[in-house]
Structures are given as C-alpha cells and as structure tokens.
Structure 1
C-alpha cells in the first residue's frame, strides 16, 4: 500500500516558526482528506505555498484513468474545496507569522521577501 507524503514529511522546507501552523493545517486536512498527499511545501515572497493532491487530483495522480461516477466526483469536489480553503487560510496566516520563531511578523523586503518579527529581522 502506498503511504502518501503529508505535511509532517515536509516541515524542513520552511522555517521553524511556521511548523505549528503547518502541523495544525495537517490535522485539519486529515479531517477532510485523510489520504491527501503533498506535491510541494515552500516559502515564496514571504509566505507559505502549499500544493496538494486531494480528491480528483489524487484520484488521477494514483494512475486512475477512469472518470469517477457523478456521486464520487461530487465528493471529490467537496474534498478539494474544503482542502483549498484550509490551505488558503494557512497561507494567509503565514504572512502574519514570523517564519523564524512563530511570533507575529510582517513581510520584509530585503534581498528577498521574508516574513519576520522585529527581533528576528534585527538578527538578519
């Protein structure tokens, strides 16, 4: 049986300050899409970017070539919509959370954009 890579397998791709946010997102995702899998977790322009396989994408990514029946397609859509809303909320929260320590932060434009608190921004 294929065990999908999920968010806990990708924590090292971003700063420790976002780990609690991602752990909470994982718990929320498991409730709406237990077998979701991660395509990518990264930081871009100072915020999280999370790309997942849920619902229909997961179905197709597993090599299924058949289109699901209408009832299953509707369940996939509901799963995809719920997962997308959770990811969007987490990405928005990351813009207010210091990637280094988890305290409140703001995007700071230097050589690259990083969301940092005043203390962590002073150390960089």
Structure 2
C-alpha cells in the first residue's frame, strides 16, 4: 500500500503502529508538510510511532507518540507536531499553495482560491436536480 505514496513519505508510513491502516487521509498538497514533519520528528525522537494521519476540520491531525512508552513525554516533539498542524491551516490541501479555510457542504477544507472555487462549483453541480428531459 505504501507504493501509492511518494518516496519521502514511505519512512513515515513504516512508523505506523501495528493495527492501524497504512493510510494518510490527507490531500497531496500536504505531503511536503508531512515529509518535513517526519524529518524533524526523526531527529527529535528516532523511534517515534504514528497511529493516524488525517484531515479534521480543515487541519492536519497527526496522532503519534515520541516512543513506544506511553508515559514518555517530549515537549519538542509535541511542539513540532502542533507547528505542522497549524501550518496546514494555511496550506492548500490540493496543491500546497497559500490557502485559507472554507466551509463547503458543511465540510471544512483548507484551499487556495482556485481550488475553493472549483470545490464550490462541484458542490453546486451535485446539488442541482437532474434536468427534466
């Protein structure tokens, strides 16, 4: 399954804890952000473990532990994760360009202006009833 992701994310995918799917539930625009976070965390906590990576309310949600010992806490690790999550709220999920958050069909997404327009148009098109023939 890791073959569908770029090489720079394969190390992160190998860190996913047993029992969790090897899945990144984010748009490709956040892949560089995630690769940078993985590089940072690998230095801070070489044995860190990932549980889940997803988009939640238009922001990156990165669930990980700095070690396999649940009682271990590392402030630098937590700060790096929070910084990446914050950066995601200003980065287009689709292309990685500067962005802002939009609510489209009751779903919060972080998109650049062109991708927001495209998403809104797609939402409107799907909301229209079929034309009477």
TM-score bracket, normalised by the shorter chain, equals 0.7 to 0.9
> Secondary structure of 2:92's partner?
coil
The residue aligned with 2:112 is 117
- Return the structure number with greater relative CO, CA threshold 8 A, min gap 6: 1
**Which structure: larger Rg?**
2
Residue 16 of structure 2 corresponds to residue 5 of structure 1: yes
Q: TM-score, normalised by structure 1?
A: 0.74
Q: Number of aligned pairs? A: 101
Deviations 1:102-123 (A, max 9, x none): 0000000122000000011111
Deviations 1:67-87 (A, max 9, x none): xxxxxx8xx43xx21110000
Query: Once the 2 structures are TM-superposed, how far is the Cα of residue 54 of structure 1 from its aligned partner?
Result: 1.4
> Secondary structure of 1:123's partner?
helix
Deviations 1:45-64 (A, max 9, x none): 00000110214xx214xxxx
In angstroms, what is the RMSD of aligned CA positions?
1.8
The residue aligned with 1:69 is none
Gaps in structure 1 of 5+ consecutive residues: 61-72
**By percentage of residues, which structure has more helix?**
1
> Secondary structure of 1:115's partner?
strand
Query: Once the 2 structures are TM-superposed, how far is the Cα of residue 4 of structure 1 from its aligned partner?
Result: 3.3
The residue aligned with 1:16 is 28
- Which consecutive segments of 4 or more residues in structure 1 shift more than 2 A? 3-6
